[in-house]
A = this chain, B = another copy of it.
Amino acid sequence: MHSYQQLFNFTQEVFLHMGCPPEDARLATEVLLDADLRGVDSHGVARLSGYVRLWEAGRINAKPDIQVIHETPSTATIDGDAGLGLVVAPRAMEIAMRKAEEVGSGWVSVSNSNHFGIAGYHAMKALAKDMIGMAMTNASPLVAPTFSTERMLGTNPIAVAVPTNKQPAFVADLATSAAANGKLEILQRKGEQAPSGWIQNAKGEETNDPHELKAGGALLPLGSDRAHGSHKGYALSSVVDIFSAVLSGANYGPWVPPFVSFLPVAENLPGKGIGHFLGAMRIDAFRPADDFKAHMDNWIDTFRKARVKDGEEAVIIPGDPEREISAIRLAQGIPLLTPVVKDLEDLSKKFSIKFDI
């Protein structure tokens, strides 16, 4: 187990050594580690060395000049100047919330960014302001549309955070693929088989071997196959791609640049970097906030008490598992896999940062 505070200090030092301004280094660290706290281990410090390599390859700008390039009272388009998505997305969310304060809702499409951590972090920023928060991002292509053998879409997540009063907030945060790529990485590492309906091989046939992903295979959209609605997962993922990238001028579909620095970026790109879409709606732009929150409490209470099938404890409210694991990890520490610790040790040597995590 590794303490959140020590991981925080170490990660912040790494971002400072990359040349991030102090406030950006602090923010990027908070966003990145929120994934570790909330149990989305694939998106936290496990990716820190990846960000460093992208910075070394000149594909991340540690001192970005983030610009609003187009706006209306309720919308904005932002060029992230190749900054860390961990910094660009929070700035975009601030703009969305400011617009929501002014005109009821705010919607910001972002180009020229890169991986922004977990979508839920950004959506949840709206909660303290009694706003509904939304966050989406596209990502490098891993998912094949229904009927296709090509990777055309990322796991393109959607997050929606909804304020409450006595109940904890409702926080949906979901990849639009049947399984998140992080789950596949874990199976690959452990040498285990994947459930049917998560992946296909290079010919588009269902397979249980997670290594097929590296041999021309693809992740499947939410719904898994046509009979079970994979065309719906594909459509939702497409909407995320369009809102995040076609609206903003980022790369879309098969052109979204890879997170890993050893893969080349395609030529003749249709846009800049990867794209995000952030939104905020003031709840009192629709009805008095206290009314809304009382009904959300009732909604959650009602669903939590719904009858369950034999062997199950209770219906889970979106956001419950992540909130519970977050409390445990803040108190007891964050478990890291050996290769991740090794990665951090290498970063410690590279930047001569004391490694006491």
Does A172 make an interface contact (CB < 8 A)? yes
**Cβ A314 vs Cβ B147 within 8 A:** yes
Are A75 and B105 in contact, with the CB atoms below 8 A? yes
Within 8 A of B (CB), among A207-266: 222-224, 227-229, 231-236, 238-239, 241-243, 246-249, 252-254
Contacts of A270 in B (CB 8 A): 295, 298
A172 closest partner in B (C-beta):
B235
Contacting chain B: which of A29-37, A54-62, A197-205? Answer: A197-205
Contact-residue size bin, chain A (C-beta under 8 Å from the other chain): 35 or more
Contact A172 B236 (CB under 8 A): yes
CB of B197 within 8 A of CB of A228, answer yes
- How distant is A179 from chain B, measured CB to nearest CB, in Å? 7
A residues 169-194 touching B (CB-CB < 8 Å): 170, 172, 174-176, 178-179
For A198, what are the chain B residues with a Cβ–Cβ distance below 8 Å? Answer: 228
A74 within 8 A of B: yes
Residue A22 interfacial (CB < 8 Å): no
Q: Is A6 interfacial (CB 8 A cutoff)?
A: no
A145 partner residues in chain B, CB cutoff 8 A: 303, 306, 315
CB of A13 within 8 Å of the partner chain: no
B285 touches A147 (CB 8 A): no
Given contacts A205-B309, A252-B299, contact A104 B147 (CB under 8 A): no
A336 within 8 A of B: no
Docked-complex contact B292 and A247, CB < 8 angstroms: yes
Minimal beta-carbon separation of A135 from chain B (angstroms): 13
Among listed A43-51, A80-88, A148-156, A342-350, interface-contacting one: A148-156
**A318 interfacial contact with B, CB 8 Å:** yes
Report A233 CB to chain B, min CB distance, Å: 7
B75 and A281 contacting across the interface, CB-CB below 8 Å: yes
A316 touches B231 (CB 8 A): yes
Interface residues of A (CB under 8 A from B): 70-75, 77, 103-105, 107, 109, 132, 144-150, 152, 158, 160, 162, 170, 172, 174-176, 178-179, 195, 197-198, 203-205, 222-224, 227-229, 231-236, 238-239, 241-243, 246-249, 252-254, 270-271, 281-283, 285-287, 291-292, 295-296, 298-299, 302-303, 306-310, 312, 314-316, 318
